């Protein structure tokens, strides 16, 4: 009985499945369809040229063996490659097939003959390479002052900084690809991403590094659609060695831009090019982003930057003063660091304001001057409530030591204070559930959700407890 293409390919898949792990089998072989079988030549259809190139690079030996097993020594394999055509493209785009000068519309399968017996592949022109494009010098858009030397390490950022330094030494080859850095505003996401890019350029001058904001990326894509050169836009980003995209959460709701970024991401990741993203929230809390993108954001490492503790804030101020060649008494520095605890941007802004007051009014920088300036600065600044501040207010309200929040005790008043701290942290800060749990005794996000539900239930059923919550809310917002 004569075999058909589906049967032959099904038998091949059975052998292949036994020789590689299931995840690789699922990724690289299940999407393939058998097209036809004619004269000992099996034609299979693959989703893209990149897909075909990956099979040829990693699985050609296995494919040879299975085809010969099914079709004998004369067995051969042909690929039918489908190249996606964008909706916004003006019409079919021509690809030259090596076997002749025939023109094939981009949205039609392109046969690529492979001689399995000889194990050689005819060279296929790569439509993703624009002639002469690599000769163009690409400006990285990195800021030189945002270096690792100026990025003070502390408990609040140690994981992200260490991962960034590892990436700079071996971009694309570590387990941290992609690296997603997330935090509320003003804690150093942009600084750290620039520092990684600058260090890569120092270590590997030949690599192409590019920093771009999500808004810039989106606007460039819109321009490419308007000018009918989407392919050039995609090709440009596919050749970047280290791509840094700031505020990736701003892709929310932009379906076409997400689709283009998805393909760029896949191409870069498969080539082991480094991808670095920043966001104001972790992937699990991003809204309006396609699940297939979110799953890829989780492939590498998601590291958060937290509000720096007092010692780190003091170190940041010392570093800035040292770089500027300015000396200030330690008590003034400590006063600023203690009173500005929301984010690093405000901390440095307060220091700059103090220096300006001293310079313009020709006054010596004293603790009294610092107090006058800080009072005005804090009053005129839309203060971001921190988790530490909330814990301090809650513990003072219940007259318990703040250390008890971090303990494992199950005493009723301590548990209640801990739950209220979690509840108000979720309400008044932009911190992730995981970050809130970490600040409240190293709890997980499920514990934080349970605490919030418990507080809400008590507010609805217990009048006295509701009064506690209302009073605490007022104190926190003062």
pLDDT at 131: 43
Rounded Cα distance between 431 and 438, Å, is: 11
pLDDT at 321: 85
Average pLDDT along the chain: 80
Q: What percent of the chain has pLDDT over 70?
A: 85
Residue given tokens 């539900």 in the structure block: 453
358-370 mean pLDDT:
80
Predicted confidence (pLDDT) per residue in 286-310, tens digit: 889 999 999 999 888 999 898 888 8
Residues 6+ apart with CB under 8 A from 456: 423
pTM for this prediction? 0.52
Lowest mean pLDDT among 88-102, 342-356, 420-434: 88-102
34-42 mean pLDDT:
87
CA 341 to chain centre: 26
Rounded Cα distance between 303 and 160, Å, is: 5
pLDDT band at 377 (very low <50, low <70, confident <90, very high): low
Q: Is 70 exceeded by the pLDDT of residue 108?
A: no
More confident call, 122 vs 379: 379
pLDDT at 465: 86
pLDDT at 199: 95
- Max avg pLDDT among 62-66, 352-356, 378-382: 62-66
pLDDT at 127: 33
Helix, strand or coil for residue 34?
strand
pLDDT band at 244 (very low <50, low <70, confident <90, very high): very high
Predicted confidence (pLDDT) per residue in 437-468, tens digit: 888 888 888 899 999 999 988 888 888 888 88
- The domains of the chain, with CATH numbers, are 5-121 (3.30.300.180), 148-304 (3.40.50.300), 310-380 (1.10.8.60), 387-477 (1.10.1750.10)
Predicted confidence (pLDDT) per residue in 252-275, tens digit: 989 999 999 999 999 999 999 999
Q: Is 90 exceeded by the pLDDT of residue 92?
A: no
Rounded Cα distance between 438 and 369, Å, is: 37
pLDDT band at 376 (very low <50, low <70, confident <90, very high): low
DSSP 376-418: HHHHHS-PPPPHHHHHHHHHHHHT--THHHHS----HHHHHHH
Q: What are phi and psi of 294, to 5 degrees?
A: -60, -40
Q: How far apart are the first and last CA of the chain?
A: 85
């Amino acid at each position: 009985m004569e075999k058909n293409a589906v049967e032959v390919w099904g038998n091949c898949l059975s052998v292949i499945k036994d020789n590689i792990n299931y995840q690789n089998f699922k990724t690289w072989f299940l999407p393939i369809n058998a097209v036809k079988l004619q004269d000992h030549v099996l034609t299979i259809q693959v989703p893209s040229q990149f897909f075909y190139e990956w099979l040829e690079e990693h699985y050609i030996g296995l494919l040879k063996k299975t085809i010969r097993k099914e079709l004998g020594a004369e067995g051969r394999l042909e690929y039918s490659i489908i190249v996606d055509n964008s909706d916004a493209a003006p019409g079919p785009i021509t690809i030259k097939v090596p076997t002749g000068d025939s023109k094939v519309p981009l949205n039609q399968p392109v046969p690529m003959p492979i001689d399995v017996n000889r194990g050689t592949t005819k060279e296929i022109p790569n439509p993703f390479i624009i002639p002469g494009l690599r000769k163009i010098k690409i400006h990285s858009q990195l800021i030189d002052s945002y270096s690792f030397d100026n990025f003070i390490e502390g408990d609040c950022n140690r994981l992200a900084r260490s991962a960034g330094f590892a990436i700079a030494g071996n971009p694309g080859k570590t387990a941290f690809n992609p690296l997603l850095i997330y935090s509320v505003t003003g804690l150093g996401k942009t600084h750290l991403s620039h520092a990684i890019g600058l260090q890569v350029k120092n270590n590997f001058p030949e690599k192409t590094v590019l920093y771009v904001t999500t808004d810039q990326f989106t606007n460039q894509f819109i321009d490419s659609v308007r000018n009918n050169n989407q392919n050039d836009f995609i090709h440009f980003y596919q050749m970047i060695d280290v791509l840094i995209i700031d505020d990736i959460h701003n892709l929310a709701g932009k379906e076409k831009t997400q689709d283009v970024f998805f393909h760029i991401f896949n191409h870069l990741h498969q080539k082991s090019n480094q991808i670095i993203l920043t966001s104001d929230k972790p992937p699990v809390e991003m809204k309006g982003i396609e699940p297939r993108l979110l799953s890829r954001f989780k492939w590498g490492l998601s590291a958060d930057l937290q509000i720096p503790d007092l010692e780190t804030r003091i170190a940041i101020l010392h570093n800035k003063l040292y770089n500027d060649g300015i000396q200030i008494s330690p008590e003034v520095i400590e006063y600023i660091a203690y009173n500005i605890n929301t984010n690093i941007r405000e901390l440095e802004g307060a220091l700059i304001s103090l220096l300006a007051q001293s310079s313009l009014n020709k006054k010596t920088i004293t603790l009294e001057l610092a107090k006058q300036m800080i009072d005005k600065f804090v009053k005129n600044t839309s203060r971001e409530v921190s988790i530490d501040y909330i814990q301090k207010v809650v513990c003072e309200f219940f007259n318990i030591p703040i250390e008890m929040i971090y303990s494992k005790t199950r005493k009723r008043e301590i548990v209640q204070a801990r739950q209220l701290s979690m509840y108000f942290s979720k309400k008044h800060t932009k911190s992730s559930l995981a970050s809130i749990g970490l600040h409240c005794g190293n709890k997980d996000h499920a514990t934080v959700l349970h605490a919030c539900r418990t507080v809400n239930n008590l507010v609805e059923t217990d009048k006295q407890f509701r009064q506690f919550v209302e009073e605490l809310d007022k104190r926190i917002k003062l």
